[in-house]
């Protein structure tokens, strides 16, 4: 198979991301967000908010990360951040999905995307830290706009939300201060319960 055909096959395969539904709902909406919408939103958030990164980042690299980070969910499905039975961290199932999905591409592109995906999962570089900041901020904004959204629906307490969201500070102290304010406001409004 030549390079163009491999790339077209990959493009057709990733269309499946549009069918992977997340637990969170769109801002001020009853409709669940899909993974493609989530990735698109994170890419634009990265472009707009990158100036708030703790350290300078390569914006294009970070945008690539947020656009591809959930492609593994085509095979592995979306794991709810607050799921107490299944870890939200990198799983063997996701690694197999990354190998299959990125493996559709020509070798050089497969290596690049796999490397970016692994970097995002590890979360150690400035770009990965900021990408993860975006990934945790977006559902916080959604849940706040939807009267608690999944926090209320699944009875998630403040401390659990706080513990999952504090990774935001690794990429941006400024955005984390804003997130902390939103969490406190959610408690004050009664849409997030403190134990």
What is the reported pLDDT for 81? Answer: 84
What is the reported pLDDT for 104? Answer: 98
The pTM score is 0.95
What is the reported pLDDT for 181? Answer: 98
* pLDDT beneath 70: ranges in the chain: 1, 84-90
What is the reported pLDDT for 82? Answer: 81
What is the reported pLDDT for 36? Answer: 98
What is the reported pLDDT for 90? Answer: 54
Structure tokens belonging to residue 194: 């403190």
Query: Side-chain half-sphere of 141: how many Cα atoms within 13 Å?
Result: 17
Is 135 in contact with 173 (CB distance < 8 Å)? no
Segment 138-160, tens digit of pLDDT? 999 999 999 999 999 999 999 99
| Structural domains of the chain sorted by starting position, each given as residue range(s) with its CATH number in brackets | 3-188 (1.10.3210.10)
Segment 66-98, tens digit of pLDDT? 999 999 999 998 888 887 665 556 578 999 999
What is the reported pLDDT for 87? Answer: 57
Structure tokens belonging to residue 21: 């539904």
DSSP letters, 138-158, are HHHHHHHHTTTHHHHHTT--H
Cross-strand pairs, 34: 21
């Amino acid at each position: 198979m030549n390079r163009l055909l491999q790339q077209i096959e990959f493009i057709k395969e990733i269309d499946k991301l549009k069918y992977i539904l997340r637990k969170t709902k769109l801002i001020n909406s009853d409709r669940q967000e899909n993974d493609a919408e989530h990735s698109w939103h994170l890419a634009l958030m990265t472009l707009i908010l990158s100036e708030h990164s703790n350290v300078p980042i390569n914006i294009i690299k970070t945008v690539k990360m947020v656009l591809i980070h959930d492609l593994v969910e085509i095979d592995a499905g979306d794991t709810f951040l607050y799921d107490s039975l299944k870890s939200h961290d990198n799983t063997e199932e996701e690694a197999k999905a990354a190998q299959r999905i990125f493996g559709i591409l020509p070798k050089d592109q497969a290596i690049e995307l796999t490397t970016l995906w692994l970097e995002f999962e590890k979360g150690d570089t400035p770009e990965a830290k900021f990408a993860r900041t975006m990934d945790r901020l977006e559902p916080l904004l959604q849940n706040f706009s939807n009267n608690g959204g999944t926090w209320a629906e699944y009875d998630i307490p403040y401390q659990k939300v706080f513990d999952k969201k504090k990774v935001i500070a690794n990429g941006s102290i400024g955005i984390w201060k804003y997130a902390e304010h939103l969490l406190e406001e959610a408690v004050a409004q009664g849409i997030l319960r403190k134990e």
